[in-house]
């Protein structure tokens, strides 16, 4: 499988919100976004901005202990999973969240723990940048569906 990758530098929280807003415009039911990065790198902050940009004003919190939160978006449900405590794809499968994979958008923190579960997700790695507020965001696409998304993310100021 060919993977297309782009790396972006985000200066601050406003840059993270802008990136999430650009991505939200492309998401549709059935899409899966896997988020990864160090502890406190901003996975939940990015997810919160993304959920809001998709038109949902529910309180977005980390599902570290609940494993999954489901938000009612205006067009489709938004599944927010934290896979940190999962032991792999088999345990993820047994959560019984299958219906959301086709009818909603799935946002999965610590997504590399279950990466083999999905055929062609969009993978986002958030790393620390040169300052306290800067982040390096690497976006990788597993198929051509995401080409336009990467082009849009790269073109933004």
Dist. CA 142–CA 48, nearest whole Å: 24
Give pTM, 2 decimals: 0.92
Distance of CA 117 to the CA centre of its chain: 15
Domain ranges of the chain: 4-155
Residue 12 pLDDT: 94
pLDDT tens by residue, 113-131:
987 898 889 999 999 988 8
Helices (H) and strands (E) counted in the chain, each on its own, are 5, 7
What's the fold here for domain 4-155?
A: Rossmann fold (3.40.50)
Q: Half-sphere exposure of 157 toward its Cβ, with a 13 Å CA cutoff?
A: 1
pLDDT tens by residue, 46-67:
999 999 999 999 999 888 778 9
Helix (H) or strand (E) holding 79: strand 77-82
- Are 124 and 112 a contacting pair, CB within 8 Å? no
For the chain, give the mean pLDDT: 90
Contacts of 69 (CB under 8 A, 6+ apart): 60, 61, 63, 79, 80
Taken in order 82, 65, 18, 25, the sign of the CA dihedral is positive
pLDDT tens by residue, 65-102:
789 999 999 999 999 999 998 888 888 888 888 888 88
Dist. CA 21–CA 131, nearest whole Å: 23
Residue 3 pLDDT: 57
């Amino acid at each position: 499988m060919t993977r297309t990758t782009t790396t972006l530098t985000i200066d601050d929280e406003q840059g993270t919100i802008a990136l999430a807003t650009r991505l939200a415009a492309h998401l549709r039911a059935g899409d899966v976004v896997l988020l990864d990065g160090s502890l406190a790198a901003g996975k939940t902050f990015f997810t919160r901005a993304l959920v809001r940009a998709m038109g949902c004003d529910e309180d977005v919190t980390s599902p570290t202990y609940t494993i999954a939160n489901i938000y009612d978006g205006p067009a489709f449900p938004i599944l927010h999973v934290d896979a940190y405590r999962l032991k792999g794809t088999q345990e993820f499968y047994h959560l019984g969240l299958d219906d959301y994979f086709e009818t909603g958008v799935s946002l999965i923190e610590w997504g590399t723990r279950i990466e083999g579960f999905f055929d062609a997700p969009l993978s986002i790695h958030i790393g620390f940048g040169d300052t306290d507020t800067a982040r390096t965001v690497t976006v990788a696409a597993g198929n051509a569906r995401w080409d336009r998304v990467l082009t849009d993310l790269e073109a933004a100021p």
